[in-house]
A and B are shown apart, each in its own frame.
Chain A
Amino acid sequence: MSTPHHASDTPLDGHVPAPDDGHSIETVELPGPTAWPLVLSVGLIMVAFGILTNISFSFLGIIMALVGIVGWVTEILPGRGHIHEELRPEELRPKPVKRADVDVIPMAPGMPGHRMHMPEKVHPYSAGAKAGLVGGVAMAVLAAIYGVVSGRGIWYPVNLLAGMVLEEADTDPVAQLEQFHLLALILGLFIHAVGSLFVGLIYGIVLPMIPRGRVLFGGLVAPLFWSGCLWASMDVLDPVLAQRVDWVWFIASQFAYGIVVGIIVVRTEKIHTTRGWRA
């Protein structure tokens, strides 16, 4: 794009053959002025106006609209409806863009600006996914231990989790919730796996951006934060769990998840971001 603001000798959109004087004039093909769209819209408005006042206007409007359409169509046939607009003489054209005489302050790390991209290195997404799944296992182990310790069995926490979707669990007696239910197991596993994976992915992306104390952040601060959110919204998310949850065990299992995921993510080797690939 050496001189984009000057007409070049190459043909533009439309290049008409030389007129009488024998010199080639540079032109641009543009759609010519037309009244047909206006005729069509007046026709359509007349149709509406007729419905509101006297229906004979509508008939008139239909005819007018048809005339407008026909006129419009004839104009888009090849070779019609276009004009060849001559390029302006040089003196009326835009001035060439001048090279700026101000110096640009080079961007340096620590300065706000678009050329600083943080972080330079990140963990691969797979690290977050893997860590999330392992963390999910850790959480499930803790939940199973809770089931055993509380004397309600390992299916109890699974059924409580499935209560997020299974509405009838709301009214089931506790004894029911201690039994094995295949559907609840499938749903519970699904919810748990998706949740663990998703949060793990977020960990993988967010943790490298934390300046220091990543395991502390991932293991304690973040789980504490979302436990608070869950505590506030549990009534809506999973009424079954809300009624029966043991908050000490619940938060402990969140910490277990956070610590495991945090450690795994932090330990994976970092790779350069795409920004870093530029030579």
Chain B
Amino acid sequence: MATTVAVPEMTDKSPRRSSLLEWVTTVDHKRIGIMYLLAALFFLVCAGTEAALMRIQLWKARFDFLEPDTFNQLFTMHGTTMVFFVGMPILVGFGNFLVPLMIGARDMAFPRMNAFGLWMFILGGLLTYYSFLQGGAPDVGWFAYAPLTSATFSRGMSTDYWILGLMTSGLGTLSGGINFIATILTMRAPGMTFGRMPLFIWMMLVDAVLIVIAFPPLTAAQTMLLLDRQLGAHFFDPQQGGSAVLWQHLFWFFGHPEVYILILPAFGMISEIIPVFARKVIFGYESVAAATVLIAFIACGVWAHHMFALGLSRTIDIFFSGSTFLIAIPTGIKMFNWIATLYGGKIRFQTPMIFCLGFLAMFLIGGLSGVMLAAVPFDWQASDTYFVVAHFHYVLFGGTLFGIFGGFYYWFPKMSGRLMNETLGKWNFWLLMIGFNLTFFPMHISGLMGMPRRIYTYDPELGVDIWNQLSTIGVLVQAAAFIVFAVNLIGSLRSGERSGDDPWDAWTLEWLTTSPPPAYNFEVIPAVRSRRPLWDLKHPEDPDWEHE
């Protein structure tokens, strides 16, 4: 059977246009990474459209632009899409493209499994979206709380689409996680000890471990739910001796580490970009790596902070409140490391860097409102209000997405051989910065004024119209930012300035090969003596390995 796969003719030495078939059958980590990115951008458009529709509906009190049922489907699909089909695939895509290049390997440890993971993600996402054509999308929230998901309350198949779409794409994610661990543990270039790995690699390793820890409980819970719905089991049905709270435990045991799965690679990206654009080494490499491990460890013990409003018990609340406060410590360590890296640096304010600076500012706000929510009495007050929506958008949009944009502008030259346009990049940044804050900052206020989440409208007497209108206007500005990005992406791909191998004067191994790299990445596997192998080559009079 293997003979049916044609071995491409290698006689043609000039770079040629690649056919669609080559992309579909590829096992090259770089192409797989790029396909992850493209598919995730497609889903980003879907999720963004859903968000925009919701914002129109919330323009004024008692507006009837959307049916309540439609609104439920939109917020469910927006959350589900952003987490499973945008956030993770983009990060996994960058990881796929970058990990082998950064550690000086020719490919991932399991290249075919890598392709499998990609297709499971894409097809799982499409399966979930197919529900729109089958009588309605899932409408139980991305967290799918029992007993709302039981056959009694969720009729039709929409919840089953949610279960099976996520289960199948989750299988892909899990295989990706295993692949990253195996690759990073076994395929590093000679001399690249753990202490010399780029921080992005550290973060991807920890991220992959979190994936392997967090996804099986979700899949198990979804299997139980499927049994409940299809075969009459009663895992989550309290009336038959099941437990609705059990679902919340299982879901959030996945759900909180998931937040860190979504942020750690972005941490990794800015840990690569900030030093290059500040022309300094990262401040406290060891502490950044150690803080990452610590975050992952603590992240597995905080899940019930999503359940304070449930009334579990005082002891449990105190434990999970304490552990949540604790996670601010390693996160704070990293903030200080990044800021200390900037301090005294010769900063170049190019687009990748300004997105990183935006990241620092926005993530700080999201982190601080997170600490506020960790206090149990405050959480009781703010739970299920727009304050929480504001909080996690500052973390996942202001944090992860700003980091991802920085990553796009930074590594796009390596993927395509062309630079993205700086002017459009600055427009992209400022429109996004303004639009983002205009959308999400007012949600802190409307939330504290009592506006509940996941409700299709609000009461005029609440007095939150103005804050909602600001948020909706913000979406318009954001849409402009995304259009600028799309124009920049397509325009630069066609006619961007040639980047050369190493446009940023950077220090990690991906910049040692051409842009784009050949299928085999490196003619000769480089040997590494320090954390910045390219610095050592550029400054033989003052190599890093003398100091590390």
Contact = CB atoms under 8 A, between A and B. Distances in A.
Contacts of B116: 37-38, 40-41
A34 B115 contact: yes
A248 interface: no
B5 A32 contact: yes
Contacts of A23: none
Interface string B477-517: 00000000000000000000000111001000000111000
Given A4-B512, A48-B168, A34 B547 contact: no
Contacts, number: 180
B172 A41 contact: yes
Given A4-B524, A4-B527, A30 B519 contact: yes
Task: Name the residue in B5, B27, B230 with the highest tally of chain A Cβ atoms < 10 Å from its Cβ.
Answer: B5
Task: Name the residue in B116, B124, B160, B539 with the highest tally of chain A Cβ atoms < 10 Å from its Cβ.
Answer: B116
A31 B524 CA distance: 18
Contact of B542 (A38, A80, A104): A104
B233 to A, nearest CB: 15
Contacts of B28: 30
B119 A37 contact: yes
Given A5-B523, A33-B8, A236 B318 contact: yes
Contacts of B285: 114
A49 B127 contact: yes
A206 to B, nearest CB: 15
A28 interface: yes
Interface stretch (A89-97, A122-130, A147-155, A261-269): A89-97
Contacts of A13: 106
Q: At the interface, is chain A mostly helix, strand, loop or mixed?
A: loop
Interface stretch (A69-77, A137-145, A195-203, A218-226): A69-77
A185 interface: no
Interface string A84-112: 11111100111101111000100000011
A32 to B, nearest CB: 6
A113 B280 contact: yes
A42 interface: yes
B113 to A, nearest CB: 7
A114 B157 contact: no
Contact of A83 (B7, B130, B500, B528): B7
A35 B280 contact: no
Contacts of A12: 523-525
Contact of B539 (A1, A49, A104): A104
Given A12-B524, A28-B106, A37 B115 contact: yes
Q: Interface extent on B, as a size class?
A: 35 or more
A41 B117 CA distance: 8
B61 interface: no
A81 B519 contact: no
A21 B112 CA distance: 33
A114 B116 CA distance: 42
Nearest to A107: B547
Given A34-B25, A52-B160, A113 B344 contact: yes
B241 interface: no
A166 B358 CA distance: 49
B235 interface: no
A51 interface: yes
Given A42-B119, A52-B164, A114 B26 contact: no
A1 B512 contact: no
Contacts of A71: 1-2
A85 B26 contact: no
Given A33-B25, A37-B115, A37-B116, A99 B283 contact: no
A120 B312 CA distance: 50
B1 A74 contact: yes
Interface in B104-120: 106-107, 111-113, 115-116, 119-120
A219 to B, nearest CB: 26
Contacts of B533: 1
A212 B164 CA distance: 63
A182 B124 CA distance: 61
Given A37-B112, A86-B10, A114-B547, A75 B168 contact: no
Contacts of A72: 112
B434 interface: no
B5 A45 contact: no
Contact of B13 (A81, A88, A97, A112): A88
Contact of A31 (B27, B157, B526): B27
Task: Name the residue in A12, A13, A76 with the highest tally of chain B Cβ atoms < 10 Å from its Cβ.
Answer: A12
A120 to B, nearest CB: 15
A83 B24 contact: no
A89 B230 CA distance: 60
A70 B25 contact: no
B65 interface: no
Nearest to A70: B1
B391 to A, nearest CB: 25
A40 B160 CA distance: 22
Nearest to A106: B542
Contacts of A41: 116, 119-120, 123, 168, 172
A74 to B, nearest CB: 5
Contact of A75 (B2, B107, B157, B529): B2
Contacts of A95: 500-501
A100 B538 contact: yes
A272 interface: no
B185 interface: no
Given A1-B526, A31-B112, 5 more contacts: A28-B106, A31-B27, A49-B130, A112-B280, A114-B282
8 contacts: A1-B533, A33-B6, A36-B112, A41-B123, A44-B120, A70-B1, A74-B1, A95-B501
